[in-house]
């Protein structure tokens, strides 16, 4: 945020003619008022006159309380006073160091050092540097860290500057060390301690300053922000509000006595608490604006501290300098109480100090500027045209606070980009401040759209946190008290917190908590149900509220007619849910919903109790408690969107409608014929399930699994047969064109076929708990290939996110059914990835081959060609990773080694040896290497491969004992092999066998020339251990006589020393 320098603060606190300012300017050598640079000698003069400087600065701060100021002017001057005490604390801390340095001891006789701050620059920094200011949006500890850094930077620069003075060289090392330590190390923490003392003094005189920093220790629960009034009461100016301001304040104050919902939404006789008594102050998280932040992601907020003092935060924020610079953005989930918070805030801010205007953006034109939206809100509230600048000028000392409720509604309902909306507000604030009309803004929005608008750099972002147990208990106490008589009359018990705790996902949001309370008020429904299944809870909630709606203003309906009407309402709601689900959103526009209703409902209009669709979704959704409507005005048209208060309502309705269609199809098909042999009419199911995979929403899968679990064994078998029959013919042309107009998104026929076939497999897997590949594709199909074709089709048509979710949802396991490969397919959490079973991929009839090459092509080359062709990131990464192995041993990828098909591939053995040598099995690696060498030999590539294999084998030197490997020409002619053997000789193994193996493979003279140090070292170890060499091996004397001793004198003189000790007089000259 904007920060002040000391010079700016002094000028703000007193006019130029002020005696105090004039005196300070004199102390500062005239630089304060003239704006000129302060040279080093002027700065050092401060030190001599620092007592006067400190006294005058304190006197300037105390003058703040003697003036009658507007709310904003008072905030500005307190900001300036804070800036002054920051610098004063530095000088007072410097005084405590008692260094004994003064201008009489100093003289400009030493040349200024390179790279150090010049005297003028340092003086300017002290006087004109921006001073950090605390704010309620971040912890006090963090501000102290920032201030310590600020002090440290000045202290270090001061220490460097003092070291350039003439007196420095006259000081002994002890004095220099004292100055160095005290200025650089002790001054910053002392300055911070002194600042804390001065801050407490300032806060004692001006309570709002204390609100700028919060310790976050407040834990007590509050109601309707009543504590905000208490916090602001000591700092109010006491001005009587103007007529307009008083009228606005009365309107907002009256809202505290309004019921939290309309009475016609509840059963007769039930009382709805007033806002003032049941609004529980929310907990919250808050942070500064950050371009890299993901405010829309709840995961991003994880780990951020949760605070319990929203009244103190709001008091501190609205009396801080930041409030008039950029908007405060308040985020929350649907039903979290964002709008109610704005109502309570508007009611609680004292009219003497604040001119509050609350604007519901849903009622304002979306395509107008900020001022027009404000004036539209004024006109809606006061029922007459009011000019905003005129109203602000009439506010006197009060700070205007504009509360814009429902920014998300502008985005959602209009579909128009509003990425710069918050930035435009900040620009409006800047322009207003320059005109002398500073204004604060508070903007609310759903958290899920927070990333669709840039947040100004000086904004604070606040997130309302879901209710905790204590807040739920407080809300329930009010609910039970208000409805005590109703409960008595109905013979019901109060709603206990323990009962509500069973449904944490719902009770943590205030509006959904109210929904649970209303549901329980109908015969203690939650009391009597025990711990019911989640699907059953949602069914009861939806049915209860739908029944309440269809029963209003309707007489003489039978129970059957009411039941049909309820089901019709739930079917309409299901279409709404599919409108969101198939578009991949949590909301749907009224226009899109109207089109979906028109495409899907005509077949149902003849049913009893079903109302004809009106021209918009308002007729379907406007009356439902658990549906939230967003609204905005654009081009004089009212645009609406709808979403469920909790996404799980929509997800349950998707599962419910899917399940009902399946059950109805089962009944129809069962009554039509004994077995499912003809084509099944799945037109309606195809229309709804061919746009989005069910796996894209985990709760949908969860509800469907729950519904499947309730089936009898017989019903499960019937439904599974029906679904498998539909899957078998899924690629065939569809005979019916019903619901052809239903197209929520543009989707190709291939895409719809892919999604529908996937959804059928998901449903089959859930109904059967586990389905095999043979059951899906038939006994005569090659299962692996058939499954691969389906999976490839799905991958080609799904988004990356949907594909990733599918992999976490649909589990595939491989097994053998006799000698035939098969798959088991199920729905559930992703297990740990099992190692590849090589036996599963081997064709029948090849068991027993010692080396089995399962391909007749270059696997690595083919894979890399496919990766290049497909242009998929993960394919490219794998291709890049396997390139070294493919270049080193391309034959290893398709070569299995061993006596059965369950052994390792050669590539696997080589990589195991390379990456984890201690885990490699010697026999497996030996077999793999021999196989690779033999295959490479046939390809004419063995020399290079042999050298590379030897380098790998050095990771496990004991492998060199394998004579079968060393005898291969690829190894025996390789110097690396000779080194391997030399390194093993004389270390406790069979030295006779090792030296015999070496002598059989090496070129002795070449070894003496190329690796004399390895050979001599090995022979010396044998002699030192008293071991024996192979009879065919040269003696130690022979080795010493034939290796190049001149070379060894330069590289390994220790070997010559050891040889002399062993050979003595026999050492060759």
Residue with tokens 């796996």: 695
For 587, phi then psi, to 5°, come to -150, 165
User: For 375-432, what is each residue's pLDDT tens digit?
Assistant: 999 998 888 899 999 999 988 889 999 999 988 877 765 555 677 899 999 999 999 9
Q: What is the pLDDT of residue 74?
A: 75
What is the greatest pairwise CA distance in the chain? 128
Q: What distance in Å separates the CA atoms of residue 368 and residue 737, rounded to the nearest whole number? A: 45
pLDDT higher than 50, residue 609: no
Q: What is the pLDDT of residue 97?
A: 77
How far from 360 is each of 633, 634, 919, 992, CA to CA, in Å?
11, 14, 67, 95
Q: What is the pLDDT of residue 932?
A: 66
Q: Are 893 and 841 in contact (CB under 8 A)?
A: no
Global pTM reads 0.67
| 916 is a domain residue | yes
Q: What is the pLDDT of residue 703?
A: 93
Q: What distance in Å separates the CA atoms of residue 567 and residue 752, rounded to the nearest whole number? A: 28
| 297 is a domain residue | yes
Q: Are 231 and 315 in contact (CB under 8 A)?
A: yes
Mean pLDDT of 1024-1035: 92
163 burial type by CB count under 10 A (0-12 exposed, 13-18 middle, 19+ buried): middle
Q: What is the pLDDT of residue 672?
A: 66
Q: Are residues 76 and 128 in the same domain?
A: yes
User: For 490-508, what is each residue's pLDDT tens digit?
Assistant: 999 999 998 998 888 888 9
Q: Are 265 and 625 in contact (CB under 8 A)?
A: yes
Q: What distance in Å separates the CA atoms of residue 560 and residue 557, rounded to the nearest whole number? A: 8
Q: Are residues 882 and 806 in the same domain?
A: no
Q: What is the pLDDT of residue 788?
A: 92
User: For 551-591, what is each residue's pLDDT tens digit?
Assistant: 765 666 788 888 888 888 899 899 999 999 999 988 888 88
Domain that holds residue 574: 532-625
Q: What's the CA angle centered on 425, arms 70 and 211, to 5 degrees?
A: 45
Residue with tokens 């709601």: 573
How far from 450 is each of 65, 99, 343, 373, 580, CA to CA, in Å?
41, 54, 21, 20, 19
What single DSSP character describes residue 1064? G
Lowest mean pLDDT among 598-607, 714-723, 942-951, 1042-1051: 942-951
| 705 is a domain residue | yes
Token code pair at residue 444: 């609310």
Mean pLDDT of 441-469: 91
Q: What is the pLDDT of residue 39?
A: 43
Q: What is the pLDDT of residue 116?
A: 37
Q: Are residues 902 and 950 in the same domain?
A: yes
Q: What is the pLDDT of residue 735?
A: 74
For 397, phi then psi, to 5°, come to -80, -5
Q: Are residues 62 and 195 in the same domain?
A: yes
Q: What is the pLDDT of residue 61?
A: 57
Q: CB-based contacts of 12: which residues, under 8 Å, 6+ apart?
A: 4, 76, 77, 80
Query: Using 50, 70 and 90 to split pLDDT, how confident is the model at 113?
Result: very low
Helix (H, G, I), strand (E, B) or coil at 400: strand
| 1 is a domain residue | no
User: For 849-865, what is each residue's pLDDT tens digit?
Assistant: 444 555 555 777 787 88
Mean pLDDT of 508-528: 86
Q: What distance in Å separates the CA atoms of residue 354 and residue 332, rounded to the nearest whole number? A: 25
Q: Which of 252-261, 828-837, 880-889 has the highest average model confidence (pLDDT)? A: 252-261
Q: Are 564 and 607 in contact (CB under 8 A)?
A: yes
Nearest to 458 by CA among 329, 330, 328, 326: 326
Q: What distance in Å separates the CA atoms of residue 909 and residue 921, rounded to the nearest whole number? A: 8
Q: What is the pLDDT of residue 647?
A: 82
Q: Are residues 244 and 187 in the same domain?
A: no
Last residue of a domain, one of 963, 994, 1026: 963
Query: Using 50, 70 and 90 to split pLDDT, how confident is the model at 804?
Result: confident
Q: What distance in Å separates the CA atoms of residue 783 and residue 512, rounded to the nearest whole number? A: 48
| 1063 is a domain residue | yes
| 642 is a domain residue | no
Helix (H, G, I), strand (E, B) or coil at 438: coil
- What order do you get walking across the sheet with 588-589 strand by strand? 588-589, 637-644, 627-634
Q: Where are the alpha helices (DSSP H) in 889-1035?
A: 906-915, 922-939, 942-953, 963-966, 969-972, 975-984, 991-1001, 1004-1010, 1012-1025
Q: Are 910 and 931 in contact (CB under 8 A)?
A: no
User: For 84-96, what is each residue's pLDDT tens digit?
Assistant: 778 778 877 877 7
Helix (H, G, I), strand (E, B) or coil at 913: helix
Q: What is the pLDDT of residue 415?
A: 55
Question: What mean pLDDT, rounded, does the chain reach?
Answer: 79
What single DSSP character describes residue 679? P
What single DSSP character describes residue 815? E
Q: Are 717 and 761 in contact (CB under 8 A)?
A: no
Q: Are residues 39 and 49 in the same domain?
A: yes
Nearest to 325 by CA among 152, 176, 458, 202: 458
Q: Are residues 499 and 428 in the same domain?
A: no
| 750 is a domain residue | yes
Q: How far is CA 881 from the centre of its chain?
A: 29
Count CB-CB contacts under 10 A for residue 186: 14
What is the number of helices (H) and of strands (E) in the chain? 55, 14
Q: Where are the alpha helices (DSSP H) in 163-186?
A: 166-170, 173-181
- Percent of the chain residues topping a pLDDT of 90: 30
Count of domains forming the chain: 7
Q: Are residues 130 and 90 in the same domain?
A: yes
Q: What distance in Å separates the CA atoms of residue 774 and residue 126, rounded to the nearest whole number? A: 82
Count CB-CB contacts under 10 A for residue 107: 11
| 969 is a domain residue | no
Q: Are residues 657 and 577 in the same domain?
A: no
At how many degrees (to 10) do helices 140-162 and 187-205 cross?
130
Count CB-CB contacts under 10 A for residue 820: 12
Q: What is the pLDDT of residue 400?
A: 96
Q: Are residues 408 and 453 in the same domain?
A: yes
Query: Using 50, 70 and 90 to split pLDDT, how confident is the model at 527?
Result: confident
Q: Are 698 and 806 in contact (CB under 8 A)?
A: no
Last residue of a domain, one of 834, 866, 895: 834
User: For 637-689, what is each residue's pLDDT tens digit?
Assistant: 777 788 887 788 899 999 999 999 999 999 887 776 555 445 678 999 999 99
CATH number for position 455: 3.40.50.300
Q: What is the pLDDT of residue 126?
A: 53
User: For 202-261, what is each residue's pLDDT tens digit?
Assistant: 777 777 777 777 654 444 566 667 888 888 887 776 677 888 888 898 999 999 988 887
Token code pair at residue 832: 């740990």
Lowest mean pLDDT among 374-383, 517-526, 887-896: 887-896
Last residue of a domain, one of 465, 493, 509: 465
pLDDT higher than 50, residue 147: yes
How far from 618 is each of 377, 565, 1067, CA to CA, in Å?
24, 18, 107
Q: Are 388 and 614 in contact (CB under 8 A)?
A: no
Q: What distance in Å separates the CA atoms of residue 180 and residue 177, rounded to the nearest whole number? A: 5
User: For 703-759, what is each residue's pLDDT tens digit?
Assistant: 999 999 999 999 999 999 999 999 999 888 877 778 888 999 999 999 999 999 999
Q: Are residues 773 and 869 in the same domain?
A: no
Q: Are residues 309 and 343 in the same domain?
A: yes
Select the more confidently predicted residue: 807 or 842.
807
Token code pair at residue 1051: 């590289």
Q: What is the pLDDT of residue 114?
A: 37
Query: Using 50, 70 and 90 to split pLDDT, how confident is the model at 107?
Result: very low
- Percent of the chain residues topping a pLDDT of 70: 75
Q: Are 334 and 449 in contact (CB under 8 A)?
A: no
Q: How far is CA 972 from the centre of its chain?
A: 58
């Amino acid at each position: 945020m904007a920060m002040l320098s000391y010079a700016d603060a002094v000028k703000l606190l007193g006019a130029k003619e002020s005696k105090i300012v004039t005196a300070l300017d004199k102390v500062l050598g005239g630089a304060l008022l003239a704006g000129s640079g302060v040279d080093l000698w002027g700065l050092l003069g401060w030190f001599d006159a620092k007592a006067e400087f400190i006294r005058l600065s304190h006197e300037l701060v105390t003058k703040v309380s003697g003036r009658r100021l507007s709310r904003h002017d008072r905030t500005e001057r307190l900001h300036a006073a804070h800036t002054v005490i920051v610098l004063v604390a530095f000088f007072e801390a410097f005084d405590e160091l008692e260094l004994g340095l003064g201008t009489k001891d100093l003289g400009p006789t030493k040349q200024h050092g390179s790279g150090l701050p010049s005297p003028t620059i340092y003086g300017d920094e002290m006087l004109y540097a921006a001073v950090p200011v605390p704010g309620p949006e971040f912890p006090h500890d963090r501000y102290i860290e920032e201030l310590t850094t600020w002090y440290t930077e000045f202290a270090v620069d001061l220490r460097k500057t003092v070291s350039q003075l003439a007196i420095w060289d006259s000081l002994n090392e002890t004095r220099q060390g004292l100055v160095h330590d005290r200025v650089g190390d002790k001054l910053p923490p002392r300055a911070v301690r002194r600042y804390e003392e001065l801050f407490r003094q300032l806060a004692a005189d001006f309570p709002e300053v204390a609100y700028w920093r919060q310790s976050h220790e407040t834990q007590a629960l509050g109601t309707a922000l009543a504590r905000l009034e208490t916090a602001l009461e000591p700092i109010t100016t006491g001005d009587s509000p103007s007529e307009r301001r008083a009228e606005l304040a009365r309107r907002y104050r009256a809202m505290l006595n309004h019921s939290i919902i309309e009475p016609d939404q509840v059963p007769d006789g039930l009382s709805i608490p007033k806002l003032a008594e049941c609004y529980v102050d929310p907990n919250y998280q808050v942070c500064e604006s950050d371009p890299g932040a993901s405010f829309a992601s709840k995961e991003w907020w994880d780990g951020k501290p949760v605070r319990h003092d929203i009244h103190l935060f709001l008091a501190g924020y609205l009396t801080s300098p930041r409030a008039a610079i950029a908007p405060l953005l308040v985020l929350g989930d649907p039903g979290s109480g964002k709008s109610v918070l704005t109502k309570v805030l508007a009611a609680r801010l004292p009219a003497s100090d604040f001119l509050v205007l609350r604007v519901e953006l849903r009622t304002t034109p979306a395509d107008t500027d900020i001022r027009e939206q404000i004036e539209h809100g004024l006109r809606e509230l006061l029922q007459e045209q009011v000019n905003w600048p005129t109203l602000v000028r009439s506010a006197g000392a009060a700070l205007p606070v504009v509360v814009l409720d429902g920014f998300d509604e502008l985005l959602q309902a209009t579909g128009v980009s509003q990425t710069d909306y918050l930035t435009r507000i900040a620009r409006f604030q800047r322009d207003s401040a320059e005109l002398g009309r500073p204004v604060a803004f508070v903007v609310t929005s759903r958290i899920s759209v927070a990333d669709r608008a840039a947040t100004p750099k000086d904004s604070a972002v606040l997130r309302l946190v879901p209710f905790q147990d204590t807040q739920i208990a407080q809300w329930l106490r009010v609910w039970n008290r208000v409805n005590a008589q109703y409960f008595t009359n109905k013979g019901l018990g109060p709603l206990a917190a323990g009962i509500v705790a069973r449904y944490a996902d719902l009770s943590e949001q205030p509006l959904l908590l109210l929904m649970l309370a209303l549901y329980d008020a109908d015969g203690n429904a939650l009391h009597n149900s025990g711990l019911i299944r989640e699907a059953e809870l949602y069914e009861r909630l939806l049915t209860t509220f739908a029944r309440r709606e269809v029963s209003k203003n309707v007489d003489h309906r039978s129970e059957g007619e009411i039941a049909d009407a309820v089901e019709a309402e739930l079917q309409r709601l299901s279409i709404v849910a599919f409108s969101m689900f198939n578009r991949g959103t949590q909301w749907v526009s009224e226009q899109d919903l109207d089109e979906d209703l028109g495409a899907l409902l005509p077949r149902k209009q003849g049913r009893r109790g079903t109302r004809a669709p009106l021209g918009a979704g308002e007729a379907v959704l406007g009356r439902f408690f658990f549906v939230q409507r967003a609204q905005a005005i654009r081009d004089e048209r009212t645009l609406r969107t709808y979403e469920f208060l909790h996404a799980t309502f929509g997800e349950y309705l998707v599962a419910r409608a899917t399940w009902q269609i399946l059950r109805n199809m089962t009944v129809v098909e069962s009554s039509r014929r004994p077995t499912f042999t003809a084509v099944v009419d799945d037109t309606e199911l195809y229309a709804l399930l061919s746009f989005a995979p069910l796996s894209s929403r985990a709760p949908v899968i969860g509800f469907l699994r729950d519904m499947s679990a309730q089936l009898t064994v017989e019903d499960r078998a019937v439904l599974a047969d029906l679904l498998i029959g539909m899957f078998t013919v899924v690629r065939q042309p569809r005979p019916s064109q019903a619901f052809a107009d239903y197209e929520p998104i543009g989707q190709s026929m291939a895409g719809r076929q892919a999604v529908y076939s996937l959804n059928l497999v998901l449903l089959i897997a859930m109904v059967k708990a586990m389905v095999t590949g043979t059951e899906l594709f038939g006994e005569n199909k090659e299962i692996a290939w058939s499954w691969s074709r389906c999976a490839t089709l799905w991958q080609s048509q799904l988004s990356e996110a949907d594909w990733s979710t599918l992999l976490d949802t649909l589990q595939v396991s491989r097994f053998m059914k006799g000698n035939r490969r098969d798959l088991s397919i199920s729905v559930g959490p992703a297990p740990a990835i099992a190692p590849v079973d090589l036996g599963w991929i081997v064709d029948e009839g090849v068991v027993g081959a010692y080396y089995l090459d399962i391909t007749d092509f270059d696997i690595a080359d083919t894979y890399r060609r496919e990766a290049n062709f497909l242009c998929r990131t993960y394919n490219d990464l794998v291709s890049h990773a396997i390139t070294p192995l493919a270049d080193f041993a391309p034959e290893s990828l398709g070569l299995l080694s061993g006596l059965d098909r369950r052994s390792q591939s050669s590539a696997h053995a080589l990589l195991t040896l390379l990456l984890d040598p201690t885990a490699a099995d010697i026999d497996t690696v030996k077999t793999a290497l021999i196989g690779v060498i033999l295959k490479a030999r046939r390809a004419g590539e063995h020399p290079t491969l042999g050298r590379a294999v030897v380098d790998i084998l050095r990771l496990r030197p004991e492998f060199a004992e394998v004579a079968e490997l060393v005898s291969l020409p690829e190894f025996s002619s390789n110097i690396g092999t000779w080194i391997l053997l030399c390194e093993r000789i004389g270390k406790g193994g069979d030295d006779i066998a090792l030296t015999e193996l070496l002598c059989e493979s090496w070129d002795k003279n070449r070894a003496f020339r190329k690796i004399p140090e390895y050979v001599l070292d090995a022979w010396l170890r044998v002699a030192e251990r008293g071991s024996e060499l192979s009879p065919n091996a040269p003696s130690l004397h022979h080795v010493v006589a034939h290796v190049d001793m001149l070379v060894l004198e330069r590289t390994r003189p220790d070997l010559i020393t050891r040889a002399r000790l062993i050979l003595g007089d026999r050492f060759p000259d």
